[in-house]
Amino acid sequence: MKIVRACPEDTDTLTGIALAAKSYWGYPESWIRRWKEALTVTSDSISSHPTYAAVTDEQIVGFCALRIQPPDQALLDHLWVLPSAMGSGVGRALFLHAEKVAREAGVACLKIVGDPHAEGFYHRMGATVYGREPAPMEGQARFLPLLEKVLS
């Protein structure tokens, strides 16, 4: 596996990975439709923010994107892995790469608004929960973990 800078031409592939990964957790299709805009990766976003793809056998199997927030924070805006590649180290490699890019940009703290199903992964990567954000869907109470990893 190699990690490369994503290109604006990768938008459809990256969006497809985000939708497939989110759908993997068994969310109702109506929820996935409501989240489609947030899961859509645009060429402008790729051009404006550090976005990286994990490539195995010439196929993109995951990606991550950062939003650098001066002076010393970054938001992990996306980290998605194709369900068929989950558990193979792709997510870990992408997270570590995002950390490296953030450190090189002078970031002291990496923030993450995680999916509840991904909270355990972020804990294993060394992030800690500092809060929860209400995210109700169709009358159901839901909370997204707010995580951070100190990089300095």
Model confidence at 152: pLDDT above 80: no
Q: What's the pLDDT score for residue 45?
A: 97
Confidence of residue 59 (pLDDT cuts 50, 70, 90): very high
Domain locations in the chain as residue ranges: 2-150
Q: For the residues of the chain, what is the DSSP string, one character each? A: -EEEE--GGGHHHHHHHHHHHHHHTT--HHHHHHHHHHHPPPHHHHHHS-EEEEEETTEEEEEEEEEEETTTEEEEEEEEE-GGGTTTTHHHHHHHHHHHHHHHTT-SEEEEE--GGGHHHHHHTT-EEEEEEE--BTTB--EEEEEEEE--
Q: Cβ contacts of residue 68 below 8 Å, gap of 6+?
A: 49, 50, 74, 102, 105, 107
pLDDT tens by residue, 63-109:
999 999 888 889 999 999 999 999 999 999 999 999 999 999 999 99
Tokens 């927030």 belong to which residue? 69
Question: What percent of the chain has a predicted confidence (pLDDT) above 70?
Answer: 100
Q: What's the pLDDT score for residue 74?
A: 96
Higher pLDDT, 149 or 73: 149
Fold assignment, 2-150 = Aminopeptidase (3.40.630)
